[in-house]
Amino acid sequence: MFLTPFRNRHAYPYWENFVYENAANEMRTIGIFYEFLLECRKGKGCQSKMKILFITAGIVPVRGVSNSYQEALMEAIAARGHEVACLCTVGVKLRPGVSWVCEQQQPYRRYTVFNGGVYPAFYAQGGVGTRKPLRDVYSHPALRRAILEVVRREQPGVISIQSLFGLPFDLVDQIRMKGIPVVFTAHDYFALCPTAHLFLPEEQPCRLPETELVCHKCCADSPSYRPFWLSYQLDQLAARFESRPVVRSTIWRIRNALKRVDGLMPRSKHSRAYSERRRKAIKFLKQVDVLHCISERQAGVIQEICGPLGNIHVLPLVPPTIEKLTPVPRLRNENRSVSFLALNVNGPYKGCKLLEKAFKTLASTEAKYELHIYGNSVPGPEIRSVFYHGRYKSSDLDRIAAHADFCIVPSVWDETLGFVGLEMLARGVPLIASARAGVSDFIRDGQNGFVFDPASSELLCAAIQKALDQSCVVQRNSLLAGYSSLTTFSDHVNEMTNLLGKAASAHDKLPGRGVLQQVCK
C-alpha cells in the first residue's frame, strides 16, 4: 500500500523521499509526516542549520595559501550560523601511541589526532611520497577508533574532506556506511599519486596505467614513518633553543644523521603495492558523494585516469586575500622595455627549465624585455635581462606587481589551480599561462592574457613574442577582464555552503530520518 504526500515542491521540499510501502505502520508514518509538515511551515525544511565536519591535515601555516583558505572557509561558514567542527589528522607528539584531543572550541571545535602513522607527502624535512603506500589505503585500528570517535561525538550532517593526508581510504568507506554524505575537495592529486603531482622523473605528466606505475622511483627519497616522526620532534626541540645556536646546531646534526641512516635503508623495487593504492583510490573517487575539483583542468585529468565520473563538481577555490586586492598602477622606470614576472618556479614541474630555454632563445634576438624571477632560493643560469630576486613576502606582492606587464605561469605539470596567477589577475596583471595550469580557466586568450602549450619552449616563446608585439591589445587593467572573471571570497563561501547543503539533502537528511528509515524497512 502506498502513501504519497502532496506534490508541491515549493511548500513541502523533498516530497520525493516520502513514499512508504509499509501498511502495518501507516498510521505511524502519517504522524511523522504531519510533524515534518509542521517543521516546514515553521521555516525549517531545507533551510535548517547544518552540522559540518571538515577533515584536513592540520591548521598550521605549512602549505601556503591552501591552508589559510581552509581556515578562512571554516570560520566564514561558522559565522553564517552553521555548526562547524574540524578534525586535523597528522598531529605528532613525542609520547608514543595514537591519541586525539579537542584543542579549540571557538569559532569552531578543532580536534587533532596524534601519531596516526600516516604523514603528508610534503614536509619540512624534505623528500616526497611514501615508502609504504598501503598506509594510505588501510587504517591502523587505533587510528580508526580515534577518527570514528570524533565523528560519533560530532554527529555531522555532512563531512567535507579537505585533505587525505592521514585519512586512509577505508576510513572514508566506514564514514559513508554510517549514512553521512562525504564531499571531497581535491586540492591536489594525492588521492591518485603519492607525491601529489602526477609527474614522472622524466619530467612529463604521468598517465601510466596502474600495471605500469613507477611510483617506487618517484618515492625514492621518501622516509619511513619513524625517522619522519623523530625528525619532526627534533625540529620542535631545536626551536626551543633559538638563543643557543650551538645546542640548536647539535640537534640539527643529529636529525641529519638520522636522515642519512634512513636513506641507506633498502627501498622496494616493486610497484604492486602502489598499483593497489591506485585501484583503491579510483574506487574512493567514484564512491564519494561529491568530488569537488578546483579547475576544469583537474577534472579532465582525473577523468582521464578514472574514466567518466558522475559525481564531479567544478568550483574554483578563491584565496581569502582576494577580497582586499585591487588593481595596482604600473610604475615604470627609465627603461621602457616590457617587464615579465615569474613567481615560485623553483622545481622541474613548475616549468623552470622551460622558462630558461625560452629566454635563452629570446636573448639571441633584439627584443627589449626584462624577466624578474621571485621565490627561487638558488639563482638560475645567467641570461640576458633575466634577474633573480630570491624569496619574497606576501606584503611585497603589490610592489612586485606594480613593476610587471605580464606574469608567466610556465607549469609543465597538470597544476590544479595556481593561487599566484589568481592574485596577479586580481592585481590587474595579465597572464601568460600554460594550458596545463588550472588558472588558465580564467584566461580569455588575447583579452586578459595568453595560453600556450608547454610541450616545447618554442611555443612559450611565441606567446611571449605576442606580448612584445607593439600591436598587442592585452594590457594591464584593460577592462579589468581578469578581475571581473574572479568571484569574491564571500560569494565563494556561499557556493561552498550550497554545495555542502545539496550533498546533505541528496543523502535524505530530513527531520526524523532515523525513524523514517525504520518505518520504510
pLDDT tens-digit readout, 132-164: 899 899 998 999 999 999 999 999 999 999 999
Band (316; pLDDT cuts 50, 70, 90): very high
Could you tell me where the DSSP H helices lie in 21-64?
26-41
Segment 403-432 shows an average pLDDT of 93
Domain boundaries, the chain: 1-48+509-521, 51-224+265-317, 327-484
pLDDT of residue 260: 79
Architecture in CATH for domain 327-484: 3-Layer(aba) Sandwich (3.40)
Burial of 196 (0-12, 13-18, 19+ CB in 10 A): buried
Q: Do 51-224+265-317 and 327-484 share a fold?
A: yes
Backbone phi and psi for residue 262, each to the nearest 5 degrees, phi listed first:
-65, -35
In this predicted structure, the answer to whether residue 126 has a pLDDT above a threshold of 60 is no
pLDDT tens-digit profile of 56-112? Answer: 987 544 445 667 899 999 999 999 999 999 999 988 777 778 999 998 888 999 999
CB-CB contact of 415 with 205 (8 Å): no
Class assignment of domain 51-224+265-317? Answer: alpha beta
pLDDT of residue 460: 97
Neighbours of 368 (CB within 10 A): 11
- Angstrom distance (rounded) from CA 319 to CA 427: 13
Q: Provide mean pLDDT across the span 349-365.
A: 94
Q: How confident is the model at residue 24 (pLDDT cuts 50, 70, 90)?
A: very low
Band (pLDDT 50/70/90 cuts) for residue 121 is low
Please report which confidence band the pLDDT of residue 120 belongs to, taking 50, 70 and 90 as the band edges: low
Q: What is the pLDDT of residue 119?
A: 64
**pLDDT-derived band at 332, boundaries 50, 70, 90:** confident
What sign has the CA pseudo-torsion 305, 311, 314, 316? negative
Measure the N-to-C terminal CA separation of the chain; round to a whole number of Å.
14
Q: Is the pLDDT of residue 340 over 80?
A: yes
| Side-chain half-sphere CA neighbours of 312 within 13 A | 20
- CB environment 13-40: b (16+ within 10 A), e (fewer): ebeeebebeeeebeeebeebbeebeeeb
Average pLDDT over residues 276-283: 96
Which residues is 102 bridged to in the sheet?
111
Q: Which residue type is seen at 422?
A: L
pLDDT at residue 65 in the model: 62
